[in-house]
Amino acid sequence: MCICTSAQCYESSDCLPGYTCIKGSCYKKIPTIPFPPKQEPYEPETYRPLPPKPAPYEPEPYIPLPPKSAPYEPELYTPHSPKTYGCSSNYDCDYKNGEVCEYGKCVCDTCYERKGSKCVYKDCGKGTCDSDSGKCVCDPCYTKDSYGKCTIYKDCGKGTCDTNSGKCVCNPCYQKDRYGKCTIYKDCGQGTCDGISGKCICDPCYEKDIYGKCTISKKCGYGSCDKVSGKCICDPCYTRDTYGICTEYKNCGYGKCDKSTGSCRCNPCYTKDSYGICTEYKNCGYGKCDQSTGSCKCNPCYTKDSQGICTDYKNCGNGKCNTVTGSCTCNPCYGKDVYGICSDCK
């Protein structure tokens, strides 16, 4: 809200402080005071009267018990045909043969069936009737047919039914499926099942795992398994240990094994024995074996024979061999020829 003054203005800066220019005149600013919020009209609480006081306690009058009635005595049994007569109790019906009275009529009791004019006990086959439900409860190993009668012998496949538990007992080499029927042939992996013991008999070169299944290939070390005999055939230069596995390297004594042939190649100065092992030192007779060449080096006065062994004593003719130098010392009147043998007479 503003109060007008006579001063003229073009803008608010032409007016005194606290005034504003509105349409060429200075107006004084008056602060607006807001109205108080509207209050709801007063409504008094409704009157609630106090609850009435409870009535004083008055005990109920004493009512004596009725006198004891006489013991129940059933009527004499007089069977009637339900087709002709109604009934008021079971004794009006042929209750000894399974008839009972229901809603004024004689009907067959639970576990009884009507056959003509008589009630006959329900035939459950290989089972008994439940007196509460009237349905057949089959013996172990039997199931119901389409009529609810226990006539179907339990099919166990490759097995027989246990008459105590009603469960299938599988034949050797067969196992149960998810329905409890013996239809699954035992999986032996690389083997066959023994029809008597039910255990797996592994093929050659296979062994059983912790579950008795033939899944483990036989280990032969440095060799391979013979699929006919199941024995390990060792690679060249390897032999079997006490367990029949090729783990032991061939012993060649003073030699080495040839990996291409598997035979021993002896070191110089050694030869093979009867087992093919390099154990025998070379016999050079009257000489020694050269470790570098393997040939015999004869002692003085000895020469090699056709086998290369120092067995031949040096022939000096008319003289003797000097065991130190190995040369011939001629007898008197004899001299050496071009071969160093005493043969020329002086």
Give the pLDDT confidence of 280-325 residue by residue, as tens digits.
888 888 888 988 888 898 988 888 888 888 988 888 888 888 888 8
Distance from C-alpha of 112 to C-alpha of 109, rounded to nearest angstrom: 5
The two three-digit tokens of residue 175, written as one number = 């196992």
Tens of pLDDT, residue by residue over 132-186, are 999 999 999 999 999 999 999 999 999 999 999 999 999 999 999 999 999 999 9
Tens of pLDDT, residue by residue over 46-104, are 556 666 766 666 666 666 665 665 555 544 444 444 444 578 898 899 888 889 999 99
Distance from C-alpha of 195 to C-alpha of 190, rounded to nearest angstrom: 16
Asked if 123 contacts 145 with a C-beta cutoff of 8 angstroms, the reply is: no
Distance from C-alpha of 241 to C-alpha of 261, rounded to nearest angstrom: 20
Neighbour count for residue 250 (Cβ, 10 Å): 18
Burial class (CB in 10 A: 0-12, 13-18, 19+), 167: middle
Asked if 279 contacts 264 with a C-beta cutoff of 8 angstroms, the reply is: no
**CB contact set of 230 (below 8 Å; sequence gap of 6+):** 204, 205, 218
Q: Is the pLDDT of residue 246 over 90?
A: yes
Asked if 304 contacts 316 with a C-beta cutoff of 8 angstroms, the reply is: no
Please state the rounded mean pLDDT for residues 25-43: 64
Distance from C-alpha of 132 to C-alpha of 319, rounded to nearest angstrom: 138
Distance from C-alpha of 139 to C-alpha of 151, rounded to nearest angstrom: 10
**CB contact set of 158 (below 8 Å; sequence gap of 6+):** 170, 171, 174, 182, 183
> For 255-288, b where at least 16 C-beta lie within 10 A, e where not — what string?
bebeeeeeebebeebbebeeeebbbeebebbbbe
Tens of pLDDT, residue by residue over 254-274, are 999 998 888 999 998 898 888
The two three-digit tokens of residue 326, written as one number = 């190995």
The two three-digit tokens of residue 277, written as one number = 């092992």
Residue in this structure with the two tokens 């009006």, named with its chain if needed: 92
Q: Is the pLDDT of residue 203 over 70?
A: yes
- Residue 8 three-state SS: strand
Query: Which has the closest alpha carbon to 98: 121, 124, 129, 75?
Result: 121
